[in-house]
Amino acid sequence: MTREVVLVTGISGSGKSVALHALEDAGFFCVDNLPPQLLRDFLSLNSRHADSRVAIAVDVRSAGSLPHLLPLLDQLRAEGVAVRSIFLDASTDALVRRFSETRRPHQLTKDAAGSDALAPPTGDDQRSPHRGLIDAIELERELLADLRGASIVVDTSQLRPAQLRLWMRDMVGAEPSTLTLIFESFAFKHGVPLDADYVFDVRMLPNPHYIRELRPLTGRDAEVVAYLEEQPDAMEMLAQIEAFMRRWLPALADDQRSYVTVAIGCTGGQHRSVYFVETLARRFADHAGTLVRHREIDAREAT
């Protein structure tokens, strides 16, 4: 039986094709839109390649079979297969923008609106030109809610394709049998990450942005680190977040979690939140799997 299976799923327009290509580049054998009822047969055909890694993309086109998918994944795990499910999500505004730019119809457009969701209203129809698309997205969220709840969620609302590819490679590089702890910095002005399990707000702390010499730097630079470590409130909050996570990590692991995302936000996602994420990642280096994400900085570096 295949040793590792990654299920890639999520909302239409959230980046599943990009994610699947990233896994293919990482050495996975990838199959797009495999009907869930064929998953076991497909894995049996690959059983001769014990070291192979397989990635399967499943989306709402297989909605009728999705109720049987989660029990099947549990069965595979019980048989010793390392299975992880990654759910890509994005805000409705981001999805509407992407569909508008590509002019592609949503998979559920006809179910939600009965016609092309991107067609403008005619006659006395005063609905938003995107109302049908929004209805389709909301219906898709309902259909995939259970699968989302059983997966590690990645919010792609603010991610560029290169950034998503990098994050996917990091995720599959982590040990699949242990709880992976993800520390993510972000800017509140761009929204709270949808994939966050815990969110900590550090905007009340002194802001290096208002010091001319520190403004172009980030929380990874020694000058910013020194400045923040001189702030008693920053050190107290850092210690409290660390204590909270150490207190509850064992319970999270016992709850069969595969990933826990701790999001730390400041105004611009450049100084305070970045420093907190980098410092916490070092302090939890003794944990089996720890990943670092800087949503705003990674986005700039991916351009």
pLDDT digits (tens, 9 = 90+) for 128-176: 556 788 888 998 999 888 889 888 899 999 888 988 998 898 888 766 6
**Which of 68-72, 93-97, 126-130, 254-258 ranks highest by mean pLDDT?**
93-97
Interatomic CA distance for residues 153 and 124, integer angstroms: 40
Q: What is the DSSP letter of 105?
A: P
**Which are the contacts of 96, defined by CB distance < 8 A and separation ≥ 6?**
130, 133, 134, 137
User: 43 vs 91, which has greater pLDDT?
Assistant: 91
Beta strands in 26-134 (DSSP E): 29-32, 53-57, 82-89
pLDDT digits (tens, 9 = 90+) for 89-135: 999 999 999 888 877 888 777 544 444 434 444 444 445 556 788 88
Interatomic CA distance for residues 235 and 157, integer angstroms: 31
Which CATH architecture is the domain 4-173 placed in? 3-Layer(aba) Sandwich (3.40)
Interatomic CA distance for residues 5 and 112, integer angstroms: 32
Extents of the domains making up the chain:
4-173, 180-301
190-200 mean pLDDT: 93
User: 265 vs 108, which has greater pLDDT?
Assistant: 265
166-192 mean pLDDT: 85
What's phi and psi for 128, nearest 5 deg? -60, 145
208-231 mean pLDDT: 97
Amino acid symbol at 272: R
14-23 mean pLDDT: 92
Residue 44: the pLDDT is 78
Instruction: Specify whether the backbone of 178 is left (phi greater than 0), alpha (psi in -120 to 50) or beta.
Output: beta
- Cα distances from 183 to residues 197, 200, 228, in angstroms, run 10, 11, 18
Percent of the chain with pLDDT over 70: 86
**Which are the contacts of 56, defined by CB distance < 8 A and separation ≥ 6?**
5, 6, 7, 8, 30, 31, 34, 39, 42
